[in-house]
Structure 1
């Protein structure tokens, strides 16, 4: 992928217009499919540039990923990382001394179990009374890059054991915003770290806290270390969270001209760690936004300065035609298919959206995804009952007159209406129950009152729910065109 100016795009549209699908397609552009390398080559790549200290830290992280916090020196020396690093350095003697030296050198001056004169400035390890070593909880934040390398190595090993002959390398991170999502998850925050209290097997756990990177910061670190490739942050439902709070001081830094290396580059000190940070120029940001969520309005101008907005309208032309007669469906020949036996989903969506726009506004339209997987009459009925009608009922506030207009029910007999007026049903039932109008169907209708879906004053026709009577015939749905 060629290096270019950073891209910030938000795909907007009503529900069901394929916005999330676009993100998944974009993710493929930031995925490399490479021939697999064997485990030995993977190890060489992992360890080649690492110091002995980092190799030992990597070994502790590997044990920790397998739920083992306490490690003895022989376990370190016999670990594949240690063995392979020694082989790279053509070492086969005094390996235990090397491990002991690294461990003791990087212990805190406050250690109660290690006495060592030439300590390094940064502590990573300590030893308990049983002679087992452990990583200091406060060192975990310093090892985030190593932890990422280990995770990628372990993933590559797992994929090597699969049948797939390609290695997939992802240069993106995808998150979904929600109301509780914040700066701490996206940029950085203080999170708990659980470790044994006295680092013995029988001890209880205690909790400490450290500053840890969020999803965006982790991606930016990877991008900064790989400037020749482009990376992408993919955000689904960006308007579900408080965007100003999630991005914090980074809201200015994501502007294309304020990225690292650009003409108006900006840096900030991060809120929790105080580290100096700028957003790499090779990080693109793509997001989706549901325009039906009116709570986004106050943030719209703040976002518009930093993002390009691309509208994703409903695409009814992508939908199929249902052939109710299975014989005709096999031929697929329009000349031999009776139009009366077909239901054109594109025309249904177009007709519904035309009337929705007239009554509820363009932002209440239905996306094509509501009917995307519909191939049979039964699937269409299910989509109407479980998705489309509830969605429109919420948008219309349950107003039966609006719903009946949308479904072309006003001039139809009661038994052919998609949406029925609850009061009209009661009046009709009372007439049927009168001495002059006995009807054996009354009992079934009374049962329907207690079981059917309802919202405000509307009810979904029981025959539609049961897939019977008028709603087993194509012409009822053709009425929606």
Structure 2
């Protein structure tokens, strides 16, 4: 079996303080290793720090966080212990809150501070919370007993806090049995763009701030977004390089997210460079330029045609590096002693996909990357590959059968069947049908179902030959 390890699509060297700023976008189809590339880059922007006392871990965790982030962190922490409903006194007594209060020299009105955070960031349609000063982003709601919980749809914006919490417990675990634990200074920030992501999250925006005497004294202040926070760290540490890592950059309106920074990110427009530019930020009005020691790396999924195309102005400011599928990284598995080469299988599928659906509909190697046996291959086909290709092809039966080399095969060896077949074949529509099923009856005479033998892992689909057939290329 071949060793399973992603190839570095673009050679990464440890950054140096005096190098020119780097702006790179890794583009390719789904599953081609783009996000993996960002994670490898992140390692080059991390430093090992001197060992610290275990008692300092909590203080280090909460120090850069706002009260709202601390409350979110506590609920995430208690959620991980299967305690989804939490009351205010429990939050105030939590070690994260205690440490934050100590850092801010706060000893009074702590319950009011928590209530203010929870109410201000409560759901607009809450049946249990009354608040006249709600923030635009909701994180919390309360049940009839007065217990609070995190909203299900807030998880996508709490990814960074979840990672910080995981890192904290890993550091605490590593330090068990000793007074010290090695820590890392991460000189990067990673975000995932999405359709609702905006300037306020990335650059700066107006957010509520709790006063010392509870919710009645909520005020609103301009707060820095992820990119500005990173830039401030970089400006204060000019001998080191920092990196902004953006996953799925084309899922957001890039011009809206960057605003006036669109020109500032060009390497020669950075602070201290030949054509350095400074602008006034939209909310605070303060002068700002991007430090020369900030690099920007991003990924872009070329397969998602439902998204607005990337602004051409951004293409001029970034180097684009293609991330093609890498079938050579895939393993060979054994089926009853016969070899099934997953690399050749992917190559054959992609060759037919390119012929019919175009190059941007290809499958990345990640779809088959961790396959070690036949059962895992069958699961990948049923749950990922066939649904992916069905969506790309609009569920067209003939096209799907062409992609899986089904046309000249016996019925029992076809991966894809028509949604309605003759009774003699004993084929029944399944949950994997391309069309909706009501009362057990498929309402359309078109569409497809997956062969029930593939679903059960039996018959022809327990043999190597049916998968080796996918190697075949078409002239």
Is 1:380 the counterpart of 2:377? The answer is yes
Q: Secondary structure at the match of 1:261?
A: coil
CA distance in 1, matches of 2:350, 2:57: 55
Residue aligning to 2:398: 401
RMSD of aligned C-alpha atoms?
Answer: 3.8
Which has the higher mean CA deviation after the structures are superposed, 290-299 or 263-272?
A: 290-299
**2:235 aligned partner:** 224
Unaligned runs of 5+ in 2: 1-14, 75-90, 114-119, 121-163, 436-445
Corresponding position of 1:454: 434
1:261 matched to which residue of 2? Answer: 272
2:19 aligned with 1:19: no
Q: TM-score, normalised by structure 2?
A: 0.69
Alignment of 1:47-62 (within 5 A): none
The yes-or-no answer on 1:191 pairing with 2:207 is yes
Output one character per residue of 1:168-196: Cα deviation in whole Å (capped at 9) or x when no partner: 11000000000000000000001123457
Q: Distance in 2 between matches of 1:42 and 1:178?
A: 32
- 1:294 shift after superposition: 2.7
User: Cα distance, 1:466 vs. partner?
Assistant: 1.1
Q: Aligned runs of 1:159-308 on 2, under 5 Å? A: 161-162=175-176, 165-195=181-211, 198-199=213-214, 207-295=218-306, 298-308=309-319
If you compute each CA radius of gyration, which structure gives the higher value, 1 or 2? 1
Q: Could you list the per-position Cα deviations for residues 201-253 of structure 1 after superposition, in whole angstroms to 9, with x for gaps in the alignment?
A: xxx66643211110000000000000000000000000110000000000110
Match for residue 33 of structure 1 among 48, 60, 70: 48
How many angstroms does 1:127 deviate by?
9.6
Greater mean alpha carbon deviation, residues 295-304 or residues 409-418: 295-304
From 411, 417, 421, the counterpart of 2:414: 417
Deviation track 1:26-69 (CA, whole Å, cap 9, x = no partner) reads: 000000113314479999xx9xxxxxxxxxx99x98xx889669
Distance in 2 (alpha carbons) for counterparts of 1:379 and 1:271: 51
- Once residues 103 and 174 of structure 2 are traced to their aligned partners in structure 1, the CA distance between those partners, rounded to angstroms, is 18
More helix per residue: 1 or 2?
Answer: 1
User: Residue 2 in 1 paired to residue 26 in 2?
Assistant: no
Offset of residue 296 of structure 1 = 5.4
CA contact 1:419–1:460 (8 Å) conserved in 2: yes
Shift of 1:454: 2.5
Structure 1 position 2, deviation (Å)? 1.4
- 1:347 counterpart SS class: helix
In 1, Cα distance between equivalents of 2:350 and 2:24: 26
2:354 aligned with 1:357: yes
- Alignment: residue pair count: 365
| Distance in 1, Cα, partners of 2:323 & 2:254 | 21
Q: Where do 5+ consecutive residues of structure 1 fail to align?
A: 47-56, 70-74, 83-98, 100-124, 138-150, 329-340, 433-440
Determine if contact 2:270/2:290 at 8 Å carries over to the other structure: yes
What corresponds to 1:109 in structure 2? Answer: none
The answer to whether the Cα contact below 8 Å between 2:208 and 2:221 also exists between their aligned partners in 1 is yes
Tell me the CA shift for residue 262 of structure 1.
Answer: 0.4
1:88 alignment counterpart: none
Partner of 1:370: 367
Could you tell me the TM-score, scaled by structure 1's length? Answer: 0.68
Contact (CA 8 Å) 1:454, 1:460: kept in 2 or not? no
Alpha-carbon separation, structure 2, partners of 1:413 and 1:39: 66
| Residues 309 and 281 of structure 1, relative CA distance in 2, 3 Å threshold | same
1:360-387 Cα offsets, whole Å, 9 max, x none, are: 0000000000000111111101000100
**Aligned partners of 1:36 and 1:160 also within 8 Å:** no
